[in-house]
């Protein structure tokens, strides 16, 4: 009879207000996903990835292609949702999963698939010794594997959390995939970096060794991580294979079989087979050092994108507005007065609009003091006209008015009677 025990735990921690981790364990599929991209984006990315992955695995015949296809599908779902919703754009998640196959007998090694993207980890505890199975997809890890940084430099680097692979941020993602064989008595723990940033490998091993069950182990690992600092969300899933002869652990709910699904993206899988307890546990070889992506940038990316979109929209509005105002101003004219009290034709609007000040087009010879007072008041305020020709017509009429006004004034002066003192 195939026996396995499992347990999971997650905690928001002492610093963050939201828990963006998502854990899953059903007896055959086990996942820890650490979301990023803001309070809503991170939680959404992790949940969508887990739901999509488990859905696709449960519809497939279990092999390495099916596991890859499920991860590609999860990546597509997160990426599509992020592109469709500006508030979620740029969201992503780490993803580490263990998928167990059914075995033929209790003493047989358990075949399983281990998949990883990001810096959430998987450890194997075998005969009391702990081994890290996965390799972090982080900039410092890949620099160390390339021989450009030492372990001590990595441990103290401020770039420890700069990730090179994340589910859902890009249209495609290449996971690390291993086919492993687990022996009776083995324990596998999947955990987010909220655990590994606070606890060392030996501390995790000691907690698992002292735990009464897989659930007890998962709970105590998360509790210890929170007590040690709790800077980030902390999550763990523990899978324990029963030692030979142990009847106290639950029956395995084996992976359901179904119609095989075609991979969304086909590439040569990186599968490392680990057989037997003495086999070396080999991680994927470094192919290149991608452009680093900071985890903190994912948390802020939604806000940055919204700000950028707002600024672009604002610039467009200002540009269109400025163009419209400029066209309106350049097509407007008015008759006004200069500092020397001459009548002037201006291009623009009386008083100006924003930074668009009136421009002098023509200075007339007419002086304000030659005009009736009613005209003076109007011209000082600015007489708006629809075009330059209309403004010139106004000046022509004004000139006629000046001549008429001057003639009338002259006539009135010449006909004014002279008072003569009369004699008595």
Q: What per-residue confidence (pLDDT) applies to 257?
A: 29
Task: Say yes or no to pLDDT of 412 above 90.
Answer: no
Q: What per-residue confidence (pLDDT) applies to 414?
A: 52
Q: What per-residue confidence (pLDDT) applies to 41?
A: 87
Q: What per-residue confidence (pLDDT) applies to 327?
A: 66
Q: What per-residue confidence (pLDDT) applies to 143?
A: 86
Instruction: Taking the CA atoms of 175, 190, 94 and 53 in sequence, report the sign of the dihedral they define.
Output: positive
What is the rounded distance in angstroms from the CA atom of residue 17 to the CA atom of residue 218?
22
Domain with CATH 3.60.40.10 in the chain: 4-295
Task: Say yes or no to pLDDT of 323 above 80.
Answer: no
**pLDDT band at residue 225 under the 50/70/90 scheme:** very high
Q: What per-residue confidence (pLDDT) applies to 396?
A: 80
Q: For residues 301 and 39, is the Cβ–Cβ distance under 8 A? A: no
Task: Say yes or no to pLDDT of 129 above 50.
Answer: yes
**pLDDT band at residue 246 under the 50/70/90 scheme:** low
What H or E segment, with its residue span, contains residue 380?
helix 373-381
**pLDDT band at residue 226 under the 50/70/90 scheme:** very high
**pLDDT band at residue 243 under the 50/70/90 scheme:** confident
Instruction: Taking the CA atoms of 383, 389, 390 and 394 in sequence, report the sign of the dihedral they define.
Output: positive
What is the rounded distance in angstroms from the CA atom of residue 17 to the CA atom of residue 12?
7
What is the rounded distance in angstroms from the CA atom of residue 281 to the CA atom of residue 129?
13
Closest to 201 (Cα-Cα) out of 143, 280, 141, 134: 134
Q: What per-residue confidence (pLDDT) applies to 255?
A: 36
Task: Say yes or no to pLDDT of 252 above 80.
Answer: no
What's the predicted TM-score (pTM) here? Answer: 0.61
Average pLDDT value for residue range 224-238: 95
Asked which of 55-59, 151-155, 297-301, 311-315 is least confident by mean pLDDT, the reply is: 297-301
Q: Mean pLDDT across the chain, nearest whole number?
A: 78
What is the rounded distance in angstroms from the CA atom of residue 416 to the CA atom of residue 410?
10
**Contacts (Cβ under 8 Å, ≥6 apart) of 27:** 4, 6, 100, 250, 252, 253, 254
Q: For residues 365 and 342, is the Cβ–Cβ distance under 8 A? A: yes
Average pLDDT value for residue range 384-412: 72
| Greatest mean pLDDT among 34-43, 47-56, 392-401 | 47-56
What is the rounded distance in angstroms from the CA atom of residue 234 to the CA atom of residue 219?
10
**pLDDT band at residue 180 under the 50/70/90 scheme:** very high
- Higher-confidence residue of 104 and 313: namely 313
Q: What per-residue confidence (pLDDT) applies to 119?
A: 94
Asked which of 55-59, 131-135, 337-341, 408-412 is least confident by mean pLDDT, the reply is: 408-412
What is the rounded distance in angstroms from the CA atom of residue 56 to the CA atom of residue 48?
12
CATH 2.120.10.30 assigned to domain 4-295? The reply is: no
**pLDDT band at residue 305 under the 50/70/90 scheme:** low
Instruction: Taking the CA atoms of 298, 302, 307 and 309 in sequence, report the sign of the dihedral they define.
Output: positive
| Greatest mean pLDDT among 33-42, 180-189, 252-261, 396-405 | 180-189
Q: What per-residue confidence (pLDDT) applies to 219?
A: 97
Q: What per-residue confidence (pLDDT) applies to 317?
A: 82
Q: What per-residue confidence (pLDDT) applies to 30?
A: 98
Q: What per-residue confidence (pLDDT) applies to 348?
A: 82
- Higher-confidence residue of 68 and 412: namely 68
Query: DSSP assignment, residue 353?
Result: B
Could you report the per-residue pLDDT of 86-110, keeping only the tens digit for each? 889 889 999 999 999 865 555 556 7
- Higher-confidence residue of 247 and 233: namely 233
Task: Say yes or no to pLDDT of 137 above 70.
Answer: yes
Q: For residues 53 and 167, is the Cβ–Cβ distance under 8 A? A: no
Residue 91 CA neighbour count, 13 Å, CB half:
31
- Higher-confidence residue of 321 and 127: namely 127
Q: What per-residue confidence (pLDDT) applies to 244?
A: 61
Task: Say yes or no to pLDDT of 235 above 70.
Answer: yes
């Amino acid at each position: 009879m195939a026996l396995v025990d499992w347990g999971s735990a997650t905690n928001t921690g002492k610093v963050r207000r939201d828990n963006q981790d998502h854990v899953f364990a059903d007896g055959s599929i086990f996942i820890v996903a650490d979301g990023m991209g803001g309070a809503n984006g991170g939680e959404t990315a992790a949940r969508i990835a887990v739901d999509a992955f488990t859905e696709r695995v449960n519809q497939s015949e279990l092999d390495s292609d099916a596991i890859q296809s499920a991860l590609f599908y999860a990546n597509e779902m997160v990426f599509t949702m992020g592109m469709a919703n500006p508030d979620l754009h740029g969201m992503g998640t780490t993803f580490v999963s263990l998928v167990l196959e059914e075995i033929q007998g209790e003493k047989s090694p358990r075949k399983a698939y281990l998949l990883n993207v990001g810096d959430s980890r998987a450890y194997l505890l075998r005969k009391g010794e702990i081994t890290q199975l996965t390799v972090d997809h982080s900039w410092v890890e890949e620099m160390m594997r390339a021989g450009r940084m030492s372990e001590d430099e990595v441990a103290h680097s401020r770039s420890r959390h700069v990730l090179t692979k994340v589910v859902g941020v890009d249209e495609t993602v290449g996971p690390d995939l291993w086919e492993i064989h687990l022996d009776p008595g083995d324990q596998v723990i999947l955990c987010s970096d909220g655990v590994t940033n606070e606890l060392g490998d030996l501390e995790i091993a000691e907690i698992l060794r002292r735990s009464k069950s897989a659930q007890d182990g998962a709970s105590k690992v998360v509790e210890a991580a929170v007590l040690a600092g709790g800077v980030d969300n902390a999550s763990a899933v523990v899978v324990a294979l029963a030692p030979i002869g142990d009847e106290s652990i639950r029956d395995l709910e084996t992976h359901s079989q179904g119609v095989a699904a075609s991979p969304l993206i086909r590439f040569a899988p990186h599968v490392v087979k680990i057989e037997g307890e003495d086999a070396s546990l080999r991680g994927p070889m470094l192919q290149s050092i991608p452009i680093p992506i900071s985890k903190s940038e994912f948390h802020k990316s939604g806000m940055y994108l919204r700000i950028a979109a707002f600024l672009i929209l604002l610039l467009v509005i200002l540009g269109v507005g400025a163009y419209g105002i400029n066209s309106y101003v350049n097509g407007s004219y008015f008759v006004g007065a200069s500092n020397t009290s001459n009548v002037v034709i201006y291009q623009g609007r009386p008083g100006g609009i924003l930074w668009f000040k009136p421009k002098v087009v023509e200075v007339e010879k007419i002086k304000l003091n030659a005009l009736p007072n009613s005209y003076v008041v109007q011209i000082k305020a600015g007489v708006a006209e629809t075009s330059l020709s209309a403004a010139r017509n106004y000046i022509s009429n004004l000139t006629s008015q000046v001549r008429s006004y001057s003639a009338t004034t002259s006539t009135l002066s010449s006909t004014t009677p002279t008072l003569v003192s009369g004699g008595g």
